[in-house]
A and B are shown apart, each in its own frame.
Chain A
Amino acid sequence: VTVPAVGLIALVVSAIVIALYLVRLNRRRVVVSDISLWSRALGAGRAGRTGARFERPASLALQLAFIGCVAAALGVWRRPATSEQEASTYVFVLDCSASMAANEGSISRLTLAKRALTSRVVQVPEESKVALVMNMPPWIVVPPTRLRSTVIAAIERVRVVEGRGDLATAMAQAAAWGAGALPASIELFTDGSEPLDKLGDDVRVRVVGHATANIGIITFGARPASDGSGAAEALVEVANFAARKARARLRVALDGRLVWSEPIALEPEGRVRRTMRGLTTSGAGELVAALENIDIDGAADALSLDDFAYAILPRHARTPLAIVDGSLPEHLTQALAALFATETIAATPITARPTTEVALVSGTTAPSPPRSGRYLVFNPQPATWGAGRATIAQASFTTWRVDHPIMRSVNLAGVGVTHGLSSASGMETNALAFAGAQALVWTYELGSTRAVVFGFDPLDSNLPLRASFPVLLANAVDWLEDETANVRQLQPGRAAVLGTAATVIGPDNRPIDMMQGPDGAQFIPSRVGFYRGRVLYAASLISEDESRIAPRPGAHARTTRPRTDDRRRMPPTRWWVVLAIFIGALEWALYHRRWTT
């Protein structure tokens, strides 16, 4: 029975009661000898009661009130998780992204949020369960439980993950607990740095923090110089998110050696970009950018996490991409040549010559996978390269795995395919992007052969016209050329896939717990800095969303203060039931009970 159904039933029953009331108004006519005795008897009775003429309307009102209470009880009971009064599970989502480390006076935003959350957990009715979710890995902090002490202890243990938050994933997890037979109430405690407009209306938001001053590094990276000199170049960008002028000194160090030092001045919302060329080192290549001596017109810099950025200086030029002759149209070949160091190789024999070289082939030039090598494959033949036999026509991408390195920073929304093949299920395939339930992009790994397969011809799709196309190809090439090279630049809070198990030491010189994921061993960095394993990794915040620590416009408008006493504000089902019983008993006693004298 849904809420609209309850309302409909209540309306029907009310209509019946009103109809009966109108029918009863048409009283039975009885001829009596003399009416004066009845009149006097009635007058004697009426004299003791005021408003006797309203007896019948009052009876009708009580009956309708009874129906209303019963309907309200049913409605409140069956109401979905849009309100919390009757929720059986309270899911609290706590934002612990990097922006929550911003200082609000003497304490951090996370501390404020934890205090508010703790007091809110205490107010939850005892019979309800409480769950705690973070917007960063490991996502689920406490599954639904009635043990308040467990939840409160977990809240105390929560620390800021020094990366960009993923509210969508957290809300999906929270909603999963609200999708059961019993309703759930979802409350988000955040600083409003992430967009809240996509949250459902049933999510209650508690925003902590205010617009405080901050400047930070929003871009930092290094790449081999394009002049073929073997040197590298680094790019750093600093932004001022405060409403005041800011001054600071930008320093860049390579393996502990200062390579750049410059005082910078930033207007409100101003940005400064610097490129450092000719960087060479014989060391590990640890590149660190730092903002020092920050002065935001007398105010303090609220967030220090974005005052540092870390990168790895590449040792050599990017691996060339070999394009098998005839695999791509000429204009796509030229476009790829602008992105990668490419060369064209003969169609036969098809083999990736050095182990680090990636060959781009098509289904026509490579009808079956070679025994070894790294390949980027377009338009495979049916039942080859992990493809199935069924063709797909007029499909659009609906979902893609944003957690996979190949799909990083890739947006396939609106990308369509006129016809192609989907992947076949099997151990050697790993789907990346889907059109409905059909995977159109997947990885293929069998023996020494490794490939990223697009199940369609690029000319049968608008993908080459999209900005994500070169990003997707670059990610794919990175992933193919070396399983470790593609994860050297890390994001805190995002899984770093190593492929093979290894020991990794974090910035605090402590070993990192490794996990086994679908793509092999992985770990989730929680802090910015260098991670040392078989190779060197750099983790930086590098997020404009997190550095812009002022709550987004409208965030406070969505704030719903947790109610101090839900039972008092809005009666739950049982109070409606009690009220219905009381009204029913009152109506029965006043109008239907046969009093004995």
Chain B
Amino acid sequence: MAELLDSEFLARLDYLSIAARDAFLTLANARRMTKRFGIGQEYVDHRDYVAGDDFRYIDWQAYGRLDRLFVKVFSQEEELAVYLLIDCSGSMATGDPLKIRMAKQVAAALGYIALGTEDTVTVVPFDNDVRRRMTPVIGRARRRDLVRTIADLELGGETSLHRSMMRFLAHFKRRGFVIIISDFLDPGYAAALRLLHHARFDCLAIQISARSEVDPELKGDLELIDSESSASLTVRLTRSLRQRYLVERKRHFAELIHLGQRMRFGHFEVVTDQPLDRVMLSLFRGGRVLV
């Protein structure tokens, strides 16, 4: 864990919590204030008694003054279900530093924050399928276990975001906040995100990119090897080809941005050579993912 996130950085995360757009809460020991009314510690309002209401919440003092039965209404403190979907495909093993390392760091930091606010965190590694069904984790005491679990994730093969999301939705029925950490190079990412949207999951897409992808400095005659399929392509990398590549890349991720705006989920691109604290504290905070 120490090599993934240092203690000083973790200490700075203690003051942060995840701001989900819509809360998908349970009635466990979560400390999150919701718009729902229910059994809680903080009085909010009264309402007329109806048959079936719990007698314990009848306001007898009001009954004595008004001779009518009222029931006290309290705000309900609920826990947030956070799903950390981490892309462990072969394409994440590229970049300098590796994209998978940045993905793990971001996932660990977010999981650490979520557990600190008594949210339930479920780590879901995937490549062309969901690779493991991990049990949800809750409680501040499990934070270091979570970080260690994330650090121990291993890389897999090819990516299939759509298939992985289908399997994810089949396994996890409880709605919550899905954080997908991937390079989104799989062309099926749009369909996958639509699945999550239609299943009414709140979603955050964190796109991990290597500097060599954002600003390729390669030149000359090269044989490009696909990190997942091992397919090769011989090119003479000229400036014009580089420009065309950037255009194609922009076109590829244009739908990701478009979906984010239309489906109201967050999208952030993280380049692997960016400092993690800057990513977490500035980018996320500025983007109102963390509060």
Contact = CB atoms under 8 A, between A and B. Distances in A.
Interface residues of A, number: 26
B271 to A, nearest CB: 13
B41 to A, nearest CB: 49
A338 interface: no
Contacts of A56: 236
A39 interface: yes
B143 interface: no
A29 B223 contact: yes
Contact of A28 (B99, B223, B226, B249): B223
Interface in B170-206: 183, 185, 187
B223 A27 contact: yes
A27 B229 CA distance: 19
A42 to B, nearest CB: 6
Contact of A45 (B218, B232, B233, B240): B240
A437 interface: no
A483 interface: no
A57 to B, nearest CB: 13
A60 to B, nearest CB: 13
Given A41-B248, A42-B235, A33 B91 contact: yes
Contacts of A39: 233
Contact of A37 (B218, B220, B222, B248): B248
Interface string B88-108: 000110110001000000000
Contact of B222 (A28, A33, A55, A594): A28
Contacts, number: 92
A552 to B, nearest CB: 64
Contacts of B238: 594
Interface in A580-596: 594-596
Interface residues on B, range: 35 or more
A30 interface: yes
A40 B248 contact: yes
B239 to A, nearest CB: 5
Interface in A40-68: 40-42, 44-45, 55-56
Contacts of A30: 218, 222-225
B226 A32 contact: yes
Contacts of A29: 222-223, 225, 232
Contact of A35 (B99, B183, B187, B226): B226
25 contacts: A27-B221, A27-B223, A28-B221, A30-B218, A32-B225, A32-B226, A33-B91, A33-B92, A33-B94, A33-B213, A33-B227, A34-B185, A34-B227, A35-B224, A35-B231, A37-B185, A37-B249, A40-B248, A41-B244, A41-B247, A42-B233, A42-B235, A42-B241, A44-B248, A594-B238
Given A27-B223, A36-B185, 7 more contacts: A28-B222, A30-B218, A30-B225, A33-B185, A39-B233, A44-B247, A45-B241
